[in-house]
Chain A
Amino acid sequence: MNKAKKKFILYAVLAIFVLLTLLLGVINASVFTMAAHDADEITEIIASGKGKFRPEEGMVPGASEDDGREPIGPMGPDSPELFSTVRYFTVSFNTADESKEPKLVAYNISAVSEEEAVEWAKELKNEETGWTRGTYRYRVYERGKKVYVTVIDQGREMLTAYRILMFSVIGIALAVLLSWLFLRFAAKKVFAPVEEADRKQRSFIANAEKDFKLPLTVISANAELIDRANGPTDETRAINRQVRNMDSIVRRLGSLTAFEQEDLAKTEFSLSELVQLALDENEERFVAADIKLDRQIESGISLCGEQEAFMQLMRELIENALKYARQNACFRLFKEGDRVKLVASNGTELPNGSVDQVFDRFTVLANAEKGSVGLGLAYVKAITVRHNGRVSAAVEDGSFVLKLDL
């Protein structure tokens, strides 16, 4: 349940993060694009005046219907303050006579010296338009035999854009943090009914297991009494067979419940030998079922845990292989660093989308054998998790593979 809760919080936070990033990303991209567009409008006005504003020659601020330019806001051509607020310089180059020195046509900027302005222009004269030194927008254009380089300072305008960007990043981080805090609280509320249902299910299983035991004992004893009085009949044999089946299910349920609730009786034991022994015990069954048993067991692997539980785990894996393997079953035990890996594959295919369900209690897949109750792999998972291990199932090359990481 904790895992599901964590998953819920993770996915919800991730969704909020992605959504906010997309939204604010689009807003910020628009702000930067518009800033560049505004700057280009201004450099275009300057270009139309051959490198500077020429109000004395009839140049007026603002876009006109004739020139096709769009209004760009109070700081742009629409503003009567445009001529006095734009920080810019223009340098011209004589293309007909390259020996002539570049000429500073206009200079209305404080952050760049005249010498620097000429140097910048020399660097940029082969370009077209773009950003330089972070917040300076330039435009290179030809008028007659001259090439003009106009550079305007958009620092103050860009500052706003950068502030929006900064607040967006902070906003996203805060939103993620707050939503994580909120979701942690909300998850408790959201999962409360699910946890309650899960608790009830476990309690029901534990009680059912307990409540089944007594009737089974009584049925079995009474069948024995009938047998002893009248001799065995088909009916009492059937009763005994079904009692044995139920007994097996009840015992497994009991083990599963006890295993999840009781303390472990841990001892150091040889897992390599345990796996070998379990496979040895069942080798003839594999031969009888015409299944080739492939074992790759690294020797000398020890484990601290409940030995009985691991014996049961091996039995479950073997039963699983005997039930579902088509031609071969493979068991591998090896060490990878400090971790012990136990891999069981049985060459069988699983119904689509059922890999995640194989560990659920009472989950019987479409290809399951008749009589399966869906407890075997639930037990395998319970044992592994109680020993702080991980278990995963996958389909590799069309074959069902179970991996235990201990």
Chain B
Amino acid sequence: MKLLFAASDRDLLRCCTELLGREGYETDTAFDGVQALTKLSRGGCALVILSSDIQRVEPERIIEHCRADGLPVLELLSTPLTLKMLLSNSPANTYLELPFGPEELIGAVSDLTEKLASDTELVFDELSVKVSAFEMNGVPITAEETDVLIELEKGNYRPLGNNGTLVASLNGKFAKLGLRKRIEYRKNEGYRMVKKDE
């Protein structure tokens, strides 16, 4: 599987490329946004790892380009993930916040490739989630949001913890789609999907 790693820091590129190479990923590199777009237009990449600090081209533009070509993007963030990022028109498929350990990077890439190969389709009444497309009724969703939905579909209510931003983002997307659904926290139950008037 060929990856494109786009980051303006050469040290980061070198060590991450080597780590990914040892895990069996063939990695091409791009030192700036222009180079990344050029390499993307040539094709041949199955996944893009993009640093949010990439120079010369806004990372959003590169993500839009990838989305249009159906290429999944793992964005490396130098700032914490926010609700605004998740609700943007072109979110990445997954995010990894710096500083990350090597195993986190490999884990994120592996999770993304697994999802790409997945034929799972989740259906909650009017809601349809195609895991491999990272879409929910045509609206882009991230791998993390997909995980929340998978667990909700299984009935494994998410425990209390670090899901507030993801839940808020999913609820925002439900509202955008005009769905009468919400993910709510229920006392003694955790999160669950409910109808708005329930």
Contact = CB atoms under 8 A, between A and B. Distances in A.
B16 A269 contact: no
Contact of B19 (A224, A254, A265, A300): A224
B12 A214 contact: yes
Which of B83, B97, B165, B184 counts the most chain A CB atoms within 10 A? B165
B161 A311 contact: yes
Which size class do A's interface residues fall under? 35 or more
A218 B11 contact: yes
A217 B12 contact: yes
B94 to A, nearest CB: 16
Interface stretch (B59-67, B74-82, B140-148): B74-82
Contact of B160 (A222, A228, A273, A302): A273
A221 B12 CA distance: 8
Contacts of B152: none
A307 B164 contact: yes
Contacts of A270: 185, 187
B82 A262 contact: yes
A267 B102 contact: no
Contact of B164 (A224, A250, A262, A308): A308
Contacts of A225: 15, 18-19, 102
Contacts of B97: 213, 254
B178 interface: no
Which size class do B's interface residues fall under? 35 or more
B185 A268 contact: yes
Interface string A201-239: 000000000101110111011101100100000000000
Given A269-B160, A273-B160, A216 B185 contact: no
Interface in A332-388: none
B173 to A, nearest CB: 13
A175 to B, nearest CB: 49
B82 A267 contact: no
A159 interface: no
Nearest to A274: B160
Contacts of B84: 262-263
7 contacts: A225-B102, A228-B22, A247-B99, A267-B185, A277-B160, A302-B187, A307-B161
Cβ-closest 9 pairs across A and B = A265-B168, A216-B99, A213-B98, A221-B15, A224-B102, A307-B164, A308-B164, A258-B80, A217-B99
Interface of B: 9, 11-12, 15-16, 18-19, 22, 53, 78-80, 82-84, 97-102, 105, 159-165, 167-169, 184-185, 187-188
